[in-house]
């Protein structure tokens, strides 16, 4: 099975491409629109700390004007950590994008239980139809199974790559299966470490970006993997992944060897 096939993202029942597109790396609007035409319909518009990408905003507006809003899944981070700020930035973003709703509001980054007021405000936005689903992102892996039991969150964004594989034991086996929360993996290249020849163990060739994405997507728990591109050429290179499929055991073992080397080298 190739990664060009869309997948249902957990209990959201959203049909998503296996590569999700992050906005904050500098790619032009045309790159985002080409990714969408190749089936990559999960767009993460972040972050107000650095300023939300005007290029992804342009791409989203163009896709919506073309009558394809229903094919696009817009996820947006909210770092307000309080009810007022979450509501303010959500309504502001709807106006900027020219849409009536955001598909997924991502509370981030949390290493603790979000305050009741934050969750209540998110639920109110959902009840009003301004957002469809509630997600969360963070680095405290053991928090995710705890939150999953509360049946509030529809999507989790989780760090997962060949270097940081803790989610394989701390998260994935402990999530509910009947009403499964959607899983989006980020930092597939471990912030570029896996692409750096100087960091490789002796005798190992450097993984490509596609290798990193394939490793992540080969885990059946992962619905999609985020990718970031600085240029349209990088986007074209990343999109080649869609013609590939899961790694075999030898390929997975190689990525784990490299990941283990880098993990222990950092200690």
Per-residue confidence (pLDDT) for residue 235, from 0 to 100: 95
Alpha-carbon gap, residue 118 to 107, rounded angstroms: 9
Alpha-carbon gap, residue 89 to 77, rounded angstroms: 10
Per-residue confidence (pLDDT) for residue 165, from 0 to 100: 97
Q: Residue holding tokens 């490793």?
A: 215
Looking at the predicted structure, is the pLDDT value of residue 76 above 80? yes
pLDDT tier for residue 212 given thresholds of 50, 70 and 90 = very high
pLDDT tier for residue 78 given thresholds of 50, 70 and 90 = confident
Looking at the predicted structure, is the pLDDT value of residue 1 above 70? yes
Alpha-carbon gap, residue 253 to 246, rounded angstroms: 13
CA-based radius of gyration for the chain: 18
Per-residue confidence (pLDDT) for residue 48, from 0 to 100: 45
Ordered alpha helix ranges (H), the chain? 29-37, 54-65, 83-97, 116-127, 143-148, 167-170, 209-217, 232-239, 249-266
pLDDT tier for residue 47 given thresholds of 50, 70 and 90 = low
Looking at the predicted structure, is the pLDDT value of residue 267 above 70? no
Instruction: Read off the pLDDT of residues 111-148 as tens digits, 9 standing for 90 and up.
Output: 778 888 889 989 999 999 999 999 999 889 999 999 99
Sequence length of the chain is 267
**Residue of higher predicted confidence among 181 and 49:** 181
pLDDT tier for residue 80 given thresholds of 50, 70 and 90 = low
Alpha-carbon gap, residue 19 to 40, rounded angstroms: 6
Name all domains of the chain by residue range, CATH numbers in brackets.
7-266 (3.20.20.100)
Instruction: Read off the pLDDT of residues 187-210 as tens digits, 9 standing for 90 and up.
Output: 999 999 999 999 999 999 999 999
């Amino acid at each position: 099975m190739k990664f060009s096939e869309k997948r249902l993202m957990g209990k959201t029942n959203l049909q998503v491409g296996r590569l999700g597109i992050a906005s904050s790396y500098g790619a032009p609007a045309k790159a985002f629109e080409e990714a969408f035409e190749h089936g990559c319909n999960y767009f993460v518009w972040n972050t107000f700390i650095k300023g939300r990408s005007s290029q992804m905003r342009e791409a989203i507006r163009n896709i919506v004007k073309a009558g394809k809003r229903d094919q696009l899944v817009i996820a947006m981070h909210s770092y307000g950590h309080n009810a007022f700020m979450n509501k303010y930035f959500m309504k502001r973003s709807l106006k900027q994008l020219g849409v009536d709703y955001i598909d997924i509001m991502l509370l981030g980054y949390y290493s603790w239980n979000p305050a009741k007021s934050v969750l209540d405000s998110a639920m109110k936005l959902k009840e009003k139809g301004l957002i469809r689903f509630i997600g969360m992102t963070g680095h405290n892996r053991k928090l995710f199974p705890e939150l999953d039991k509360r049946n509030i969150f529809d999507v989790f964004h989780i760090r997962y790559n060949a270097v940081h594989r803790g989610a394989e034991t701390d998260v994935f086996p402990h999530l509910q299966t009947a009403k499964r929360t959607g899983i989006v993996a980020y930092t597939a290249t471990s912030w570029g470490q896996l692409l750096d020849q100087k960091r490789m163990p002796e005798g190992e060739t450097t993984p490509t970006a596609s290798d990193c994405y394939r490793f992540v997507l080969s885990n059946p728990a992962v619905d999609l993997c985020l990718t970031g591109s600085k240029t349209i050429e990088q986007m074209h290179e990343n999109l080649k992944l869609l013609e590939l499929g899961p790694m075999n055991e030898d390929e997975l073992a190689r990525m784990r060897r490299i990941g283990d080397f880098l993990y222990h080298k950092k200690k």
